[in-house]
Chain A
């Protein structure tokens, strides 16, 4: 079946502009995660959704970052007034609700470049 999809795959924006990144999880996956990965760095947790609610927003770096999820499916990560340090690959992952395993399935990522 279809995997996690993200759009756009690449985004170049000017400093100070707002950007929206989209994630379409695997159908039936109730949990959705956003991560950020800067060049040569590990995965940085941003936010987690269970259904449409976000019990854990602790990873959002600043109030310029926000995310929402509608219909228990698509999620949008919004970065306002982008800064150069926001340049990174933004990865989305989804997880099946049940079972012993909690493996996450990752999308291909959105590479954000702020100039």
Chain B
């Protein structure tokens, strides 16, 4: 089992809809998670991190962490075409960090 699993997509949603991106992980010791956004041809940029069970909201983005079920998700409300990118999740860690393969999101105008 891979450390971090993501559906590679593409996930297509209409503009204005909610996009739901999911990530499961195998290491029960993981305490925090990050969501990075990567536009085509660009480097990943951090958009959210979460280290507590439950939800964390930041503008149109909500990260959800469920340690018992070992999944973390990212919800994007009112999706915009500019949100079209690949979203990578990764456990926070002091040393080696394994990124998920990333989910490609396409927001259709």
A residues contacting B by CB (< 8 A) are 31, 33, 35, 41-43, 45, 48, 50, 55-56, 58-59, 91, 100-109
Q: Whole-angstrom distance from the CB of A19 to the nearest CB of chain B?
A: 20
What class of interface size applies to chain B in its complex with A?
20 to 34
**Which of chain B's residues has its CB closest to A50's CB?**
B95
> B22 contacts the other chain (Cβ, under 8 Å)?
no
- Decide if the interface of chain B is mainly helix, strand, loop or mixed: loop
Interface residues of B (CB under 8 A from A): 32, 34, 42-46, 49, 51, 88, 92-102
* B43 surroundings in chain A (CB, below 8 A): 91, 106-109
Distance between Cα atoms of A17 and B46 in the complex (Å): 35
Smallest CB-CB separation from A59: which chain B residue?
Answer: B96
Contact A55 B95 (CB under 8 A): yes
Q: How far is the CA of A30 from the CA of B77 in the complex (A)?
A: 36
11 contacts between A and B (CB under 8 A): A42-B101, A42-B102, A45-B99, A48-B95, A91-B43, A101-B92, A102-B97, A103-B92, A104-B34, A104-B46, A108-B42
